[in-house]
Structure 1
Amino acid sequence: MHDLAAPHPLRSHYPARVALGRRPLGIIGSALTARRNVLELIPEIATRQPMVSGRTGKRWHMVMDPGALRIVLKDRVEDYPKSVITKSLLEPAIGQSLFVAEGAHWRWQRRAAAPAFAQRHIEALTPVMTAAAEASARRLAAASGPVDIFAETVAATFEVISDVTFSGDEGFQRDAVHQAIDSYIAGAARLSILDIIGLPGWVPRPGRLRSGNDLKRMKQVADDAIRARARSGPREVPDLLDLLRAGEDPETHRAMSIPELRDNLLTFIVAGHETTALTLAWALYLLAFDPQVQDRAAIEARTVLGARAATAQDVAQLTYIRQIIDESLRMYPPAAFLSRTSLIHDRLGGREVHPGETIMLPIYALHRHHLLWNDPDRFDPDRFAPGVTRDRFAFLPFGAGPRICIGASFAIQEAVIILATLLARLRFELTERQPEPRMILTLRPQGGVWLTVKLR
C-alpha cells in the first residue's frame, strides 16, 4: 500500500542513493560488484516488482512483497534459515550466537537473553546514553572546519555500548576491540567469488583467514573481561554482562557458558554501536540536506530539553525526532541486504521456490519500492507521523517475526537521545563532499559524512 502522508513539492534533487543495476552482471561481474557494494547487485526493477529471480551459480529470488516477507520472516521462519553466505561472513567473529544460530540452539539463547533487554533494564542504562550525548555535543561544538560526522557517531555509540556492556571496566580494552571490528568489516566481511558461486561455507575464504589474529585478540579481551567480572561480582546497577550472566532459559534452565557469553556480547557490541552510529550519521546528513526539517526538529528538541541533554524520560515527547530516525532507517537501513536459504518447495510472490535456493531480502529496495512508498527516494519524516499506516512488512530496519532484533528498543532510545541533544545545540550544514551509500556488512557512508557544524 502507499503511505498516507501528503507529498510536498519535489525537490530539485534527492539525497545520496545507490545506483542499482540495469543489466545482468554474470558470475565474475557479480563477485566484483559485491566486493565493492553489495547493493549494486540489486536490479533497478526490484523497486517496481514484488519479486525478481535469476541465476548466478545457484538460482536466487529477491523478495520485496510484504506478504512473501511475512512468510519468510514470521510464518515459516524455520523453513528459511540464514544463508551459508551470512553464516560464513559472521561466524568467524560471533560464533553461534543469537544472530547466527538456528532452531533449538537459537531459541534457548533468545529466551535466556530476553530479560536483559526488558524496558526497565534499558531505562536503567540510559544515563550512559545521556552522558555520551553530552560528550558528543561538546566535541562537535569545539570542532573547527568540516567534521566527519560518522567518525563522531561511531565514537559516541561505542562509548555507550562498551559502558552498558562492561560498565567501563578498566580491563576491557576498548581500542583493541574497536580496531578488530573495523579490520574485520573492512576486509573479511566482504563477499567472495566463492560465496557468489555457492561453494559451501567450509571452503576457506582468503580474506577471512587473514582476519584471524584480530578476531583472536578481540575474543581474548572479552573472555578476560567476563572472567574478571566473575571474580568481582555484579555491579550495583546491572550492566549487560551482569544481566546475561544471570540469565537462563526458563524452559531448560540452561545458562550461557563463557564462550557463549562472549559470542553474544561481541554480537551486541558490533551490532549495538555500528547500526546506531550509522543511523545517526545518515540522519544528520539528511537533516543537513533539508534545513527546514532540521529547523523543525531543533525547535522540538529545544522546547523539550532547553539547554540540557536528553534522558529516557524525554523520548516520548520527541515525536518528530523519532520520525526522523525512522525515515533515516527507511532510506539507509544498516542491515540493507539479508539472505536466507529455502529448505522447502514453496511459492513466494507467485513464484516457485525449490529447496536449496537462495532467498534474498533486499531491505534497501523494499524501503524504496514504488508500490509501497510515495516518491520513495525523497526524504520525508512525515511518512512516520502519528496515524500513518502501512503494511508491517514494508518497513523492516530491525527485521520482523521471532528473530526481530532483540536490541531494537535500545537502539531507538539511544538514537533519539543523542540526536535530540545535538540538534538542540548545533546546526549541521552540507559540504561539497557527498557521502556514497556502500554496503559491505552494513550500509556505510563511503568516505564519511562530512558536515559543517555551527552553534545554534
Structure 2
Amino acid sequence: MPDTTLPPRLPVHVPLGTRPLGLLASLSAARRNLLSIIPKIATTQPMVSGRTGARWHMVMDPDAIRAMLLERLDDYPKSLVTKNLLRPAIGESLFIAEGAHWRWQRRAAAPVFSHRNVMNLAPIMTAAAERCCARISAAGPRAVNLHDEMVTTTFDVISDVTFSGDSVFDKSGVHRAIDDYIAAAGKISLFDMLGFPDWVPRPGRLLSGNAVRQMKSVADSAIDARAARGHDGVPDLLDLLLAGEDPETKRRMSVAELRDNLLTFIVAGHETTALALSWSLYLCAFDQEVQERARAEAQSLLQGRAAGGEDVAELPYVRQIVDEAMRLYPPAGIISRTARKADTLCGREVRPGDTVMVPIYALHRNALLWREPDAFRPERFADRKAVPRYAYLPFGDGPRICIGASFAIQEAVIILATLLSRFRFTPVDGRTPGPVMIITLRPEGGVWLEAEAV
C-alpha cells in the first residue's frame, strides 16, 4: 500500500522495496501494484540487475536509455509481457508493432497529429472542460471524485474528436468495455514472467474476451458507417485515419488495422490524459500556493472566455504543473523491452533474451538526476532545456515517442486551466489517493477534493 505517513510537504508516493523478491513474491507484488517490484536502490543508481525467473535489468541512466530508445531501437523491441497484455485488444497496432510494420503505420498516422490538426481540435477540448465545470457546479459545494470527472471529460474529448458525436458510436458501451478489459487483462501472469509462449492461455485474459469483442465490434461498425456516409466539417480522427497513407509506399490501413489503431488512440488518448489531470488536481490541492499562482495565470488570460489551442503557450505555469505531475506520477510507470542482441549498458553485460526495463517512476525520482526528487516543484520545468532529455519520459522518447503527446498536453492544459479559473480545490481528510500501477498509474480510491466556486 502507498505510504500515507509522509513529511507534510511531500505528496504521496509508493514505498519501494528494500529487499530482493523471489519469483512468487514478485508475482504477488506485481498483481497488487506493479511499482512495488521496483527496488528503492533504483532511485540512487544508474542501473540495477537481477534474476526473477529470467535475467532482468532496470536502467535509469539517460545515456543508456538513449541508446535503447534511439540509437539501438531495433535491438530492444517491446517485451513479451507488454505484447501479451495488450495484443488481444489492439492487435499489431502502432503501440505494439515492430520494424517495418511499425514504421509504415507511423508514417501513415503522423499527419493525423500535426500541429494544425491538433489545434483544430481545441474547441472540442474546451467544450468538454465547460461541461465538466457545469457538472461540478451542479453537484454543489461538496467533495467530488475528480478522477472520475477527468475520466469522463477526457473520454468525451477522445470520442468526439474520433467520431464527431456519431450516434453509431456507443460511448458508454466502449467506456465500460475498456474498464472491463483493463481489470481482467491487466494482471501480470506468472506465465508472462516465466516467458511462456503466446499460445499458452492466460486465464485472466480469457475472461476479457467479451470486452475485447465489444470494443472491436463498435469500432468496426463506426468505421464502416463513416466510410459509406462520409463526414462534413472539420475532419475528425477517423476521417484523418481513413485518408491516411504511407507517403513512401502509398499503403493505406485495412479495416482491421484502422480499428486496432483507433482503439489504441481511444484507450491511450483518454486514460493517460485523465491520469495526468487527476494527479495535477491532487497536487494543486496539496499545495495551495501553486494552485493560486496557476489560477491567477488562467484567470488573467481567459477572463471569462473559453480556452483555445492558441492559449496553451500563454499558460506556462499551468503547463509546468502538468509536467511535474507526470514526473511524479507518470501514466506509464514502467516500460519494458527484450534485448535482441548482446550489449553493454552502464558497463554491464546484457544478454539476448534479457528483460531490460526503464522504471520511469524511479527514473523521475532518481536522486542522481533530480534535486529533492519526491517534492512537488513545478518550477523545475520553467526552463525545459535544462531538463536532461532522457531523464524525463512521460511519453517515452526516440522514434517511438507517443504520437499523441502534443494532443495530450494541449488537452490537459486547456482542461486544467478552465477548472482552476472556476474552482478552488482543497483536500478531503482521510481520502489521500494511492498511486497503484496495473497497466497505468492510477490513483487508488479516486481523487476526492472539495470544489468551491471562485
- Shorter-chain TM-score tier: over 0.9
1:454 aligns with 2:448: no
> How far apart are 1:129 and its partner, in Å?
0.3
For 1:412, the aligned partner's letter is I
What amino acid is aligned across from residue 168 of structure 2 in structure 1?
Answer: G
CA distance in 1, matches of 2:346, 2:200: 33
- What is the CA–CA distance in structure 2 between the aligned matches of 1:92 and 1:234, rounded to whole Å? 30
SS in 1 for 2:78: coil
Corresponding position: 1:101 with 2:90: no
Following the alignment from structure 1 to structure 2, what is the Cα–Cα distance between the partners of residues 319 and 391?
A: 19
Question: 1:29 Cα deviation (Å)?
Answer: 0.5
Deviation at 1:374, TM superposition (A): 0.3
Deviation at 1:388, TM superposition (A): 5.7
Contact 2:110 2:403 in 1 (8 A): yes
Counterpart CA distance in 2 for 1:252 and 1:386 is 40
Residue 44 of structure 1 aligns with which residue? Answer: 40
The residue aligned with 2:113 is: 117
Identity %: 63
> 2:440 and 2:449 mapped to 1: Cα distance?
21
Following superposition, the deviation at residue 203 of structure 1 comes to 1.5
Within the alignment, does 1:242 sit opposite 2:239 as a pair? yes
Residue 340 of structure 2 is matched in structure 1 by: 343
Distance 1:441 1:387, change over 3 A: closer
Say whether residues 1:330 and 2:327 are aligned partners: yes
Pick from 150, 155, 161: which aligns with 1:153? 150
Preserved CA contact (<8 Å) 1:283 1:324: yes
Instruction: Deviation per CA, 1:128-153: give whole Å up to 9, x if none.
Output: 00100111111112224211100000
**Correspondent of 1:317 among 287, 293, 314:** 314
Of 267, 278, 282 in structure 1, the residue corresponding to residue 279 of structure 2 is: 282
- The farther-off stretch of 144-153 and 43-52 is 144-153
Q: 1:305 — aligned with what?
A: 302
1:20 aligns with 2:16: yes
Contact persistence 1:308–1:421 (CA under 8 A) = no
What's the CA shift for 1:105? 0.4
Q: Is the Cα–Cα contact under 8 Å of residues 133 and 309 in structure 1 kept in the other structure?
A: no
Aligned to 2:124: 128
- Per the alignment, in what secondary structure is the counterpart of residue 436 of structure 2? strand
Whether the 8 Å contact between 1:143 and 1:453 is mirrored in structure 2 is no
Distance between the aligned counterparts of 1:143 and 1:50, measured in 2?
Answer: 48
Q: For 1:410 and 1:388, how far apart are their aligned partners in 2?
A: 21
Contact between 1:147 and 1:452, CA under 8 Å: does it hold in 2? yes
Aligned length in residues:
447
Q: Is the 8 A contact 1:94 1:263 kept in 2?
A: yes
Structure 1 residue 280: deviation in Å? 0.3
Runs of 5+ in structure 1 lacking a partner? 1-9
**3-state secondary structure, aligned to 1:416:** helix
C-alpha distance in structure 2 between counterparts of 1:74 and 1:200, whole Å: 28
Question: For the Cα contact (< 8 Å) 2:223–2:259, is it kept in 1?
Answer: yes
CA change 1:50–1:128 in 2 (3 A) is same
Q: Name the CA shift for 1:388/1:247 in 2 (closer, same or farther; >3 Å).
A: closer
Q: Distance in 1 between matches of 2:291 and 2:412?
A: 16
Residue 182 of structure 1 aligns with an amino acid whose one-letter code is D
CA distance in 2, matches of 1:245, 1:231: 12
Report 1:33-432 matches (<5 A). 33-144=29-140, 145-386=142-383, 389-432=386-429
The answer on whether the counterparts of 1:393 and 1:400 sit within 8 Å (CA) in structure 2 is yes
SS in 1 for 2:253: coil
- SS at 1:264's partner residue? helix
Q: 2:438 is matched with which residue? A: 440
1:208-264 per-residue CA deviation (whole Å, 9 max, x = no partner) reads 011101110110000000000011113321000000100100111110010000000
Residue 174 of structure 1, CA deviation: 0.6
How far did residue 306 of structure 1 move? Answer: 1.1
Assess if the C-alpha contact under 8 Å between 1:141 and 1:426 holds in 2: no
Deviation string 1:258-310 (CA, Å, 9 cap, x unpaired) is 00000000000000000000000000000000000000000000000012221
Give 2:377's aligned amino acid. D
Deviations 1:112-142 (A, max 9, x none): 0001111101111111001001111111122
SS class of match (1:52): strand
**1:11, CA displacement in angstroms?**
6.6
Aligned residue identity for 1:66: P
Q: Over residues 38-59 of structure 1, what are the superposed CA-to-partner deviations in whole Å (9 max), with x where a residue is unaligned?
A: 0000000000000000000110
SS at the partner of 1:376? coil
Residue 398 of structure 1 aligns to a residue in which SS?
coil
The verdict on how the C-alpha distance between 1:93 and 1:446 changes in structure 2, with shifts beyond 3 A counting, is same
Cα offsets for 1:52-110 (capped at 9, x unmatched): 00000110000000000001100000000000000000000100000000000000000
SS of the residue aligned with 1:280? Answer: helix
**Counterpart Cα distance in 2 of 1:81 and 1:386:** 32
User: How far apart are the structure 1 equivalents of 2:384 and 2:59?
Assistant: 27
Q: Over the residues paired in the alignment, what is the CA RMSD in angstroms?
A: 1.1
Question: 3-state DSSP class of the match of 2:299?
Answer: helix
5+ residue gaps, structure 2: 1-5
Question: Which amino acid is the alignment partner of residue 357 of structure 2?
Answer: M
CA distance in 1, matches of 2:330, 2:272: 9
d(CA) in 2 for partners of 1:353, 1:265: 36
Q: Distance in 2 between matches of 1:190 and 1:19?
A: 20
Q: Deviations over 1:171-216 (max 9, x none)?
A: 0011111001001111211111112222222221100011101110
Where does residue 6 of structure 1 map in the other structure?
A: none
Distance 1:220 1:104, change over 3 A: same
Listed one character per residue, the Cα deviations across residues 22-42 of structure 1 (whole Å, up to 9, x for unaligned) are 111101100010000000000
Q: List structure 1 segments (4+ residues) > 6 angstroms apart after TM superposition.
A: none
Where 1:68 maps in the other structure, the secondary structure is helix
Partner of 2:36: helix, strand, or coil? helix
Would the aligned equivalents of 2:381 and 2:387 in 1 still touch at CA under 8 Å?
no
* In structure 2, distance between residues paired with 1:159 and 1:204: 35
Rounded Cα–Cα distance in structure 2 between residues aligned with 1:177 and 1:235? 24
The verdict on how the C-alpha distance between 1:404 and 1:416 changes in structure 2, with shifts beyond 3 A counting, is: same
Matched residue SS, 1:215: helix
